[in-house]
Chain A
Amino acid sequence: MALQRFPIEAGHIMLFARAIGDANPAYYGAITGDEPVPAPLTFVQASAQFDPDYPLRPRIGEPWFGSGREATGRGAAPMPGDGGGGTGLHAEQHYTYHRPLRAGDVLTSSTVQGPGWEKQGRRGGRLVFSEMITEYRDAAGELVVTARTVGVRTEKIIGQGSDA
């Protein structure tokens, strides 16, 4: 995945801060007019909104696997890799901040596959881990945030112990 344009917007930061239950006034510059408006620590995860091909968002006019008339949507495609059925889970997430990210920044991103490894899980059978490293750069090409995502695939549903 590579993002052509991820604009950091004050209104989006406000919505994100509300969603994570963070009342820090710095995040509400969209209302108060105060600047700068810093991004919450995990805000770059919302870059999914700016990925035209993000699989966990319904696409206009296309089948969706969430419930409608039935518990899973009509003509639903197989569930995307990191969602549903308890096979693909998000194991770890790490961010390095090279400078503060603020409203007004316009980022691009590029992602490369990192190392992979396997281990035997206590409850989930064989666990296959893989790493993705995403670099977010500003309009000047300077590195702003590096994100490292560790995913794990399991052979059966895990009721507790990891997350999607």
Chain B
Amino acid sequence: MTTVREGDVREVVLTEEVTRTQLVQYSGASGDYNPLHSDERFATEVAGYPSVFAHGMLTMGMTGRVVTDWFGPEAVLSYGARFVSQVWPGDRLTATATVVGVGDDGTADLTISTTNQGGEIVLAATARVRLA
């Protein structure tokens, strides 16, 4: 059983540098082949973005590790996220999870934020885990 108290914090560096290759990997694994995430020419010339950018679901998937490394993949009861800001190739991402409540029912609630190298929040998430 994982014992935690309100206020406990874990921080994980998710990646030192988001790469375009990782965006291609995620496109292939997830099946979301939107060229905004893999096709620089399309993203810049047609869609008007400065470059390709990460799938929000890639950032959410990467962020899940801060919860599953702590409690295990099978202890998670819920996980939800709001996509706050875009993630670009070159970004360094850090996820921080904080225990915000421990229930009498053997569950704990977490808030999670993922930030880039500039300290800007890119993803704001919550999770509930089973402790027993």
Q: Chain B 44-86, CB within 8 Å of chain A: the 1/0 string?
A: 0111111001111111111011011100011011111111111
A18 to B30 Cα, complex, angstroms: 11
Closest to B64 in A: A41
Q: Are A161 and B84 in contact (CB under 8 A)?
A: yes
Interface contacts (Cβ under 8 Å), in number, total 179
Q: Which of A122-157 contact B (CB under 8 A)?
A: 148, 157
Q: Smallest distance from the beta carbon of B61 to chain A beta carbons, Å?
A: 4
Interface residue tally for chain A (C-beta within 8 Å): 55
Q: Which residues of A contact B69 (CB under 8 A)?
A: 24
A94 to chain B, nearest CB (A): 3
CB of B14 within 8 Å of the partner chain: yes
Query: Which residues from chain B sit less than 8 Å from chain A, CB to CB?
Result: 14-15, 22, 25-26, 28-39, 41-42, 45-50, 53-62, 64-65, 67-69, 73-74, 76-87
Give the interface of A toward B (CB within 8 A): 12, 15-16, 18-22, 24, 26-27, 38-42, 45-49, 51, 54, 56-58, 65-67, 71-72, 80, 82-86, 89-97, 100, 148, 157, 159-164
Nearest 10 interchain pairs by C-beta: A94-B80, A66-B35, A163-B56, A48-B31, A20-B61, A49-B31, A71-B45, A41-B64, A100-B74, A19-B29
